[in-house]
Amino acid sequence: MEAIEIIGYIGALLIGLVLGLIGGGGSILTVPILVYALTLNPVLATAYSLFVVGTTSLVGAIKNMMKGMVDFKTAIIFAIPAFIAVYLTRAYLIPAIPDELFTIGTIVVTKNLAIMLFFAIIMLLASISMIRNNRKESDEESVITYNYPLIIVEGLVVGTITGIVGAGGGFLIIPALVLLAKLPMKKAVATSLFIIAIKSLIGFLGDVKNLEIDWAFLLPFTALSIIGIFLGIWLNKFIDGKKLKKAFGWFVLVMGIYIIYKELVM
């Protein structure tokens, strides 16, 4: 096994570790690890990312369910438009995108390049959300109200983005649950993990008929990520998650800039 592959498998552990430590964000690492460390095609990498993110998030979601932290009604209202959008994106939109989109001067904008650049933009947005992190950590129980039209629109948007980049979109879902469904912060984080798990795994189902899945690689990679989430949950007792989240936000910012540089310059 080459050194770069070893880094890739260590990365799998890191994905779960970050998810366990800060309750989100780990999925944003999955595609860069699969593309740059394990040299997978971006379309395949985003598909594998959905499976890894979905399965790892499901483990965290089950733990939250046992604590009674998941608001199932809110999750279902948000998840239905999200998983319809993510499934349709993976099953029909991604395969329909031509391999070569357009040319700018000497640069040929391919499907793979477009996916990686869009992913980098999502990374930059996620990093800003983590660095600023101005959301009030209110955990007071209040009357949960639903802005149904906005929740449906948000679900469709998040589902489509998840389908394109293969990341969970927790940085979009959590504010939506706090602002549009008036959930307390801890419940929003727990419910977000459940939504991410469901829509990511349903999105992956949209890929099964279009792509050849290497289960001999994908299952051990996912298992390492699950080990990472348990390790992260344990370490969470000793580490300040808020400070860590900000530091991780800066790391994601640098990674996003690196992807843009690598794809356009190198």
Q: What is the pLDDT of residues 113-161, one digit of tens each?
A: 898 898 889 888 888 887 886 655 555 555 666 677 888 888 898 889 8
Instruction: Provide the pLDDT for residue 143.
Output: 61
pLDDT higher at 192 or 168: 192
Whole-prediction pTM: 0.82
Is 66 a residue whose pLDDT tops 70? Answer: yes
Characterize 213-235 residue by residue with b for buried, 16 or more Cβ atoms within 10 angstroms of its Cβ, and e for exposed.
eeeeebeebbbbbbbbbeebbee
Q: Rounded to an integer, what distance in angstroms lies between the CA atom of residue 109 and that of residue 93?
A: 17
Instruction: Provide the pLDDT for residue 133.
Output: 67
Instruction: Provide the pLDDT for residue 181.
Output: 77
Q: What is the pLDDT of residues 198-230, one digit of tens each?
A: 888 888 988 888 888 999 999 999 999 999 888
**What percent of the chain stands above pLDDT 90?**
13
> How remote is the C-alpha of 224 from its chain's centroid?
17
Is 169 a residue whose pLDDT tops 80? Answer: no
Q: Which residue has the tokens 């438009």?
A: 81
Is 52 a residue whose pLDDT tops 80? Answer: yes
Average pLDDT over residues 76-84: 88
Calculate the average pLDDT of the chain.
Answer: 83
Instruction: Show Cβ contacts of residue 230 under 8 Å, excluding neighbours closer than 6 positions.
Output: 16, 20, 59
Instruction: Provide the pLDDT for residue 145.
Output: 66
Q: What is the pLDDT of residues 21-51, one digit of tens each?
A: 776 666 788 888 898 888 899 989 989 998 9
Highest mean pLDDT of the ranges 14-18, 94-98, 123-127, 130-134: 94-98
